[in-house]
A and B are shown apart, each in its own frame.
Chain A
Amino acid sequence: MEYKAPKEAYKGMVREVTIGKGEKAMKVGGENILPFHFFDEGSLPNPPRFALEVLDMEPAEKTPHLIEPFGDVISDPIKWAKKCEGFGVDAICLTLVSTDPAEKDTSAEMAAQLVKRMLAEIKKPLIVYGSGDEKKDAEVLPKVAQVCAGENLLIGPVQKENFEAVGKAVLDNGHVAIAQSPIDINLLKELNVKLCKFLPPERVIIDPLSSALGYGIEYSFSLIERVKQIGVITKDSMTMMPIIANLGAECWKTKQAKENKTQGLLWEGMTALSLYLAGANILVLRHPETLKSIKETIGR
């Protein structure tokens, strides 16, 4: 029996999505092979992108080895973002945690103004996450979309409770939506179907909710693998969107990451690498050293 290298070729292709505009524009997706499978028949025009997360308020919990690389700028989101640019990121991810009614309940207008100011200051494309409170996000995210009209931000999370309000604002103001659903392929497809009734699928990125190592990563890992395979192998239109894995905050919430620096960096690094291998196109991290060691490990 002769050995013939088992190369595979597939019929589907992840949609190529552009985030940001002009000099800041960044493309994600566009591959017709599985992640890291450069040996199969096909191409991966855009390697996975890495973003570092910035919060719009000083974090309540200050794990020393997590905030140390940023020094005193963590009280100033714009300076924090600029510092991140120095660490070789592909994008900045601003999370508007302070808008959460359970936090500072910052107004939509104030949050949107911050996004606008940050846009003017940074050179990398911007990802904007609301607090995750569906009701408040339905006020905050449309406002952000309007105030930054035409900037082609990546905005989310768009959830099944608020997809009409947020999705509409994303469409009208020329942005890209992060469609988020809780670790379930049917819920994920259902939301994409609803969203794509009015939003072109090239304006959607999937966030299947990422869990950290030891705290459910196996669910995120297998879900992302499946979404990618259903898209690329069976050409299912509603899963052929790029995937974002927003995992930094999840990792640094764990006791193990907070306890020790090496353990924290590995907790975040292994979670990120696993979801990268599963098929994430954008990975959002917190620690610049994680970013550096992952890039070196995969040889980029």
Chain B
Amino acid sequence: MPISGSEIVKMLPGKKPCKDCGFPTCFAFAMKLATGGATVDKCIYLTPEVKAKLEDLLAPAIKLVTIGAGDNKVQVGNEEVIYRHEKTYVHPPGIAILISDKESEAKVNEKIKKVNELNFSWVGLTLKADLIALQFESGDKNKFLALVKKVNDSSNLGIILISEDLNVLFAARDLCADKKPLLYPITKENIDQAIPKIKEKPTPVGVRGASIEELIPLTAKLKEAGVDEAVLDPGSKNLMEAVRDQTFIRRAALKQGFRPLGYPTIAFPCFIAKDGLKEVLAASVFINKFTAVIVLSDFDQYSLLPLLVQRLNIYTDPRFPMAVEEKYYEIGTPDENAPVLITSNWALTYFIVSSAIEATKVSSFLCVKDAEGLGVLTGWAAGKFSGDSVGAMVKKSGIENKVKNKKIVIPGRVARIKGELEDALPGWEIIIGPREAAGIGAFLPEYAKSLRK
């Protein structure tokens, strides 16, 4: 619930514009403050109380929290919308693997190796998990501390420390405090004891309650003590409750402007579902439903990739479709007898079509028409893949000078542009290709042969 400029101006001195803030009037300054274009300290005439109040009102509705340090730090929170189509989600959730100090050394090593090394390239990006959660379960403090030390030494990833025993929690924190680990859980039972310890070396904390209501006095207490980086665990017992709690927290923060719940959240599919497949599916629900840190008991390459792809997809900015540049691309080493195909410039369309061509091992030219990042059919429907505009693109691209056969293959789904395209490209023959990229494998080799006859 962002505060408006006209509400801010009521709190400014505003008797006579002095312009000391660099703006012509208090009102102009207020408008800038409301949109985040200026900071409160620019007006030096505010009383400390008003200044603090304004700063609080202008702070993001959901706190930005940083776990870890350096290049591998994970930043979550600061989200501005409930549904991604309203604007965009900003900070993708951190995905963590859970390691218990009760697990065998071999298992521990395997997990550290996995989380450090598993990575996937996907449409030009590298996807990876980001965090390691370490759980004190053995009852043997030294054993846990040895695990923390080992992980701290062998990985640059951010750490989540999980211990019901506060002494152990803070002893572990002391081993990796510079890495800004997330300390979990802070509860109504231990919060008074924990606060002074947290303040010794500030790091983010995970607050656990048995319900949303139980979290509220806890975050209020933390805030009062000056601890402001927290993530919330509302203690949801199953997925139905989880969706409710995640939704309520997000709504309370954004729609009600309710500060005590204005924090990112953490979820533990590892404790909700036991079976591997269901645990990953539960994690995928949390990705869809606002969660900022997601802890899994384990994963392998086949369960991690789908989760990372989903995170990427949901956190893609819907206002800017991923698009590739309009031009012709050479796939393999096409010569003057190579096939020429055309598709739209949505990154995904390009990715699917070019990999289908690559798989046939037939060197080809692939023309990519700027359809403002839409797919072929939607692009056509929006008038961005019409015969006229496709023809103009082909002419402009210079592909004419690269091939002897003036033949171009269009996607079967837009067969209807054939006539228009023939008019726009005199001398060219328009070939209707497969309806889907999946059909390229059956189509292209034969077609390429026919061009060489």
B4: interface (CB < 8 Å): no
Residue among A102, A262, A267 having the largest count of chain B Cβ atoms under 10 Å: A262
B318: interface (CB < 8 Å): yes
Instruction: Please tell me which stretch of B44-52, B101-109, B110-118, B281-289 contacts chain A, meaning at least 4 of its Cβ atoms lie within 8 angstroms of it.
Output: B281-289
Contact: A1 with B302, CB < 8 Å? no
Contact: A3 with B261, CB < 8 Å? yes
| A38-B240 contact, Cβ under 8 Å, with A3-B261, A6-B252 | yes
- B285 partner, pick from A38, A213, A255, A297, beta carbons under 8 A: A297
- CB-CB < 8 A to A132: which residues of B? 435
- A274 partner, pick from B288, B318, B435, beta carbons under 8 A: B288
B430: interface (CB < 8 Å): no
- CB-CB < 8 A to A293: which residues of B? 275, 277-278, 281
* Separation of A187 and B383 alpha carbons in the complex (Å): 13
Q: How many A-B residue pairs have CB under 8 A?
A: 139
* Separation of A278 and B307 alpha carbons in the complex (Å): 17
Contact: B381 with A263, CB < 8 Å? no
- CB-CB < 8 A to A217: which residues of B? 310, 313
Closest Cβ of chain A: how far from B286's Cβ, in Å? 11
- Type the 1/0 row for B198-240, where 1 means its CB is closer than 8 Å to any CB of A: 0000000000000011001000000000000000000000111
- CB-CB < 8 A to A226: which residues of B? 83, 85
* Separation of A132 and B438 alpha carbons in the complex (Å): 15
- A277 partner, pick from B280, B288, B382, B434, beta carbons under 8 A: B288
A36: interface (CB < 8 Å): yes
* Separation of A236 and B310 alpha carbons in the complex (Å): 30
- CB-CB < 8 A to A266: which residues of B? 277, 280-281, 284, 302-303, 306-307
The chain A residue sitting closest to B278, CB to CB, is A297
- CB-CB < 8 A to A294: which residues of B? 281
Contact: B240 with A299, CB < 8 Å? yes
Contact: B318 with A277, CB < 8 Å? no
Closest Cβ of chain A: how far from B208's Cβ, in Å? 17
* Separation of A36 and B439 alpha carbons in the complex (Å): 38
- CB-CB < 8 A to A198: which residues of B? none
* Separation of A273 and B382 alpha carbons in the complex (Å): 29
* Separation of A221 and B310 alpha carbons in the complex (Å): 11
Interface residues of B in 235-253 (CB under 8 A from A): 238-240, 243-244, 247-248, 251-252
Contact: A299 with B377, CB < 8 Å? no
- CB-CB < 8 A to B302: which residues of A? 260, 262-263, 266
The chain A residue sitting closest to B83, CB to CB, is A225
Closest Cβ of chain B: how far from A195's Cβ, in Å? 17
- CB-CB < 8 A to B284: which residues of A? 266, 269-270, 273-274
The chain B residue sitting closest to A35, CB to CB, is B243
The chain A residue sitting closest to B412, CB to CB, is A102
* Separation of A102 and B439 alpha carbons in the complex (Å): 10
Contact: B239 with A298, CB < 8 Å? yes
Contact: B282 with A39, CB < 8 Å? no
A96: interface (CB < 8 Å): no
The chain B residue sitting closest to A37, CB to CB, is B247
Closest Cβ of chain A: how far from B270's Cβ, in Å? 14
| A297-B282 contact, Cβ under 8 Å, with A266-B277, A274-B288 | yes
The chain A residue sitting closest to B359, CB to CB, is A255
* Separation of A215 and B349 alpha carbons in the complex (Å): 8
The chain B residue sitting closest to A161, CB to CB, is B416
- CB-CB < 8 A to A263: which residues of B? 302-303, 305-306
B63: interface (CB < 8 Å): no
Contact: B281 with A229, CB < 8 Å? no
A214: interface (CB < 8 Å): yes
Contact: B303 with A262, CB < 8 Å? yes
A182: interface (CB < 8 Å): yes
- Type the 1/0 row for A197-240, where 1 means its CB is closer than 8 Å to any CB of B: 00000000000000001111110011001100100000000000
Closest Cβ of chain B: how far from A231's Cβ, in Å? 14
- CB-CB < 8 A to B240: which residues of A? 36, 38, 298-299
Contact: A297 with B239, CB < 8 Å? yes
| A273-B281 contact, Cβ under 8 Å, with A216-B348, A253-B438, A263-B306 | yes
Contact: A215 with B378, CB < 8 Å? no
B255: interface (CB < 8 Å): yes
* Separation of A118 and B243 alpha carbons in the complex (Å): 39
- CB-CB < 8 A to A265: which residues of B? 277
A296: interface (CB < 8 Å): yes
* Separation of A120 and B316 alpha carbons in the complex (Å): 47
Contact: A3 with B213, CB < 8 Å? yes
The chain A residue sitting closest to B123, CB to CB, is A214
B190: interface (CB < 8 Å): no
Contact: B314 with A3, CB < 8 Å? no
Contact: B303 with A213, CB < 8 Å? no
B11: interface (CB < 8 Å): no
- CB-CB < 8 A to A183: which residues of B? 375, 378
B259: interface (CB < 8 Å): yes
Contact: B306 with A297, CB < 8 Å? no
- CB-CB < 8 A to B355: which residues of A? 255
Contact: A270 with B303, CB < 8 Å? no
- CB-CB < 8 A to A5: which residues of B? 212, 248
* Separation of A176 and B252 alpha carbons in the complex (Å): 40
* Separation of A260 and B348 alpha carbons in the complex (Å): 22
* Separation of A38 and B247 alpha carbons in the complex (Å): 11
B38: interface (CB < 8 Å): no
Contact: B377 with A222, CB < 8 Å? no
Contact: B381 with A277, CB < 8 Å? no
Q: Which 9 pairs of residues, A with B, have the shortest CB-CB distance?
A: A6-B251, A263-B302, A266-B306, A39-B244, A222-B85, A262-B302, A218-B313, A270-B284, A214-B309
A–B Cβ pairs within 8 angstroms, 8 of them: A6-B248, A39-B248, A102-B439, A221-B84, A225-B84, A262-B277, A266-B302, A293-B277
B-to-A contact residues, CB < 8 Å: 83-85, 122, 212-213, 216, 238-240, 243-244, 247-248, 251-252, 255-256, 258-261, 273, 275, 277-278, 280-282, 284-285, 288-289, 300, 302-303, 305-307, 309-310, 313-314, 316, 318, 348, 352, 355, 375, 377-378, 381-382, 434-435, 438-439
